[in-house]
Amino acid sequence: MSSPRPVDGRAAGLMVLLCLCWALQQILVKAVAADISPMLQIGLRSAMAAALVLLLMRVQGLRVQARSHWRGALAVGLLFGGEYVMVAEALRRTSAAHTVVFLYTAPIFAALGLHLRVPTERLRPLQGLGIALAFGGVALAFLGEPASPGAGAATDRVGDLLALGGGLAWGATTVLLRGSSLARAPASEALLYQLMGAAVLLLGTALATGQTAVHWTPAVLGGLAFQTVVVAFASFLVWFWLLRHYAAAMLGVFTFLTPIFGVTLGAWLLDEALAPSFVRGALLVLAGVVMVSAEGPLRGWLSRRGGRRQAADGAGLG
């Protein structure tokens, strides 16, 4: 296999589009929550996207190797499904902006899990500082003043905690995928198990909690179609393709656009109010996540900057 290429214009453009799609999913779910519950929406999109992945695997001549991967498949399905159960409930209780910011703490939890389980993934000092910064941002966002009463979407602490729990489950899914037999499986098969787990857990939870009422409006149908085909199916396949061809660390830097897009779109499209303390906390979270996930590129940039400064000082002394 050839070594990954540096990120070029095509990869950068695709990453911006992917981040926009991933941010839009929270906005779309929240926008039609009065007509179809977030739990049922995400369950239906997961089931339909799983069917599309199965069809793609059939076209590609790939077979589901569930017998070889059943332990990892069961675990990753439960984790991924649990993540979206918490996300769906969070979207009922808090704003889309809060949900997307707390959900995208996932790289922090993934880095901590890999640090404990994989010797080659030990955290460096800059990453440790980033984790401390991110958790400080979470604390500030939780403990600060609420948004103005009556301004935009309501938020509550339980919804925020559920979104943070979704980030924890997402991070644990990443650690599990790295350490199980699924790391050697085709990307489409690993995605299939995650989607199947989400479909079973969310549709079951929707039935058990009575969240099955639907008003089939054009917005509901359009939102489900977009989430199924673009978000849950195409965007993840494009993401896996990019990971196979380009440097993962540099691609990871672009994912921090997702919460920025989410907060901006929530305020613009859903009229969600943003408390100043939440904005400050979100910025600290994003800065911490960048320091953790992009530690390699950041360290290289700092090293090059220090080298240029030393060269300039030497020239001045000469």
- DSSP letter, residue 217: -
Residue 4 lies in a domain: no
User: For residue 214, which phi and psi values (nearest 5 degrees)?
Assistant: -135, 135
Residue 3 lies in a domain: no
Q: What pLDDT was estimated at residue 163?
A: 95
Q: Are 28 and 227 in contact (CB under 8 A)?
A: yes
Residue 113 lies in a domain: yes
What SS3 state is found at 34?
A: coil
Q: How confident is the model at residue 299 (pLDDT cuts 50, 70, 90)?
A: low
pLDDT at 8 over 80: yes
- Report the 10 Å Cβ neighbour count for 204: 14
| pTM value > 0.75 | yes
Total domain count for the chain?
Answer: 1
Residue 66 lies in a domain: yes
Residue range(s) defining the domain that contains residue 131: 9-317
Residue from 245, 232, 248 nearest 188 by CA: 232
Q: Cα separation of 247 and 186, whole Å?
A: 19
Q: What pLDDT was estimated at residue 149?
A: 44
pLDDT for 210-255, tens place per residue? 999 999 999 999 999 999 999 999 998 888 788 777 866 667 778 7
Residue from 286, 263, 258 nearest 273 by CA: 263
Residue 1 lies in a domain: no
Q: Tell me what percent of the residues of the chain surpass a pLDDT of 90.
A: 45
pLDDT for 162-219, tens place per residue? 999 999 998 898 888 877 777 778 888 888 999 999 999 999 999 999 999 999 999 9
